[in-house]
Amino acid sequence: MPAETFVSRLNEQIAHEFAAHQQYVACAVYYDAETLPQLARFFYRQAMEERDHAMMMVQYLIDADADVTIPGVAAPQASFSDVVAPVALALEQEKRVSDQINELTRIAREAGDFTSEQFTQWFIKEQVEEVATMSDLLRVVERSKDDPMDIENFMAREHSGGAGEDPTAPHPAGAE
Ligand SMILES: [Fe+2]
Ligand SMILES: [Fe+2]
């Protein structure tokens, strides 16, 4: 059984991941309404990744025969002052999640729960990538905020495909 402190903290993290999902859907919808389809597509895809993160955590708790509670989430921010604001918010969110994941790792380690500690390792790597992606994107949108078609061209060039299969990723509950 995973450490109780870890289980309760991981249940909280599931709520954070679902909240991130909702927030990224709200960002995608904003860009869709602004007719910036490449930015919209990027955020719809990021939203799906956040849902997968939540479901990976759900699967881990199910496999470990630990309590899992599917949470409600607070409403995301849905209106934005300009095209930069959703990306700035996303970067802040990813930095916060990185801290949360590090804290999860620390809790597992201090409890001597090495299985749970290992489970968190993939998320540490994932957060490094997500913070890097969002901080690159923030630089691009800040530079081109008066000419959003430049941003769209950048997205089409750099972020057109999906992330691809990651064979090291934990299995999301319910996934094929
Ligand atoms: Fe996430
Ligand atoms: Fe993320």
At 55-64, the pLDDT tens digits run 999 999 999 9
The pLDDT score that the predictor gives to residue 160 is 81
Block residue for tokens 């990813």: 94
How would residue 163 be classed by pLDDT, with cut points 50, 70 and 90?
A: low
Q: Identify which of 175, 128, 163 has the alpha carbon closest to the alpha carbon of residue 47.
A: 163
Asked if residue 2 lies in contact with residue 116, where contact means CB atoms within 8 angstroms, the answer is yes
Block residue for tokens 């109780």: 4
How would residue 11 be classed by pLDDT, with cut points 50, 70 and 90?
A: very high
Average pLDDT rounded to a whole number, residues 12-24 = 98
Lowest mean pLDDT of 99-103, 120-124, 159-163, name the range: 159-163
Distance 146 CA to ligand 1 centre (A): 30
Distance 130 CA to ligand 2 centre (A): 6
Distance 169 CA to ligand 1 centre (A): 12
Average pLDDT rounded to a whole number, residues 28-41 = 98
Distance 64 CA to ligand 2 centre (A): 24
Instruction: Report the chain's C-alpha Rg in angstroms.
Output: 17
The pLDDT score that the predictor gives to residue 120 is 98
pTM here is 0.95
Phi-psi sector, 52: left (phi>0), alpha (psi -120 to 50), beta? alpha
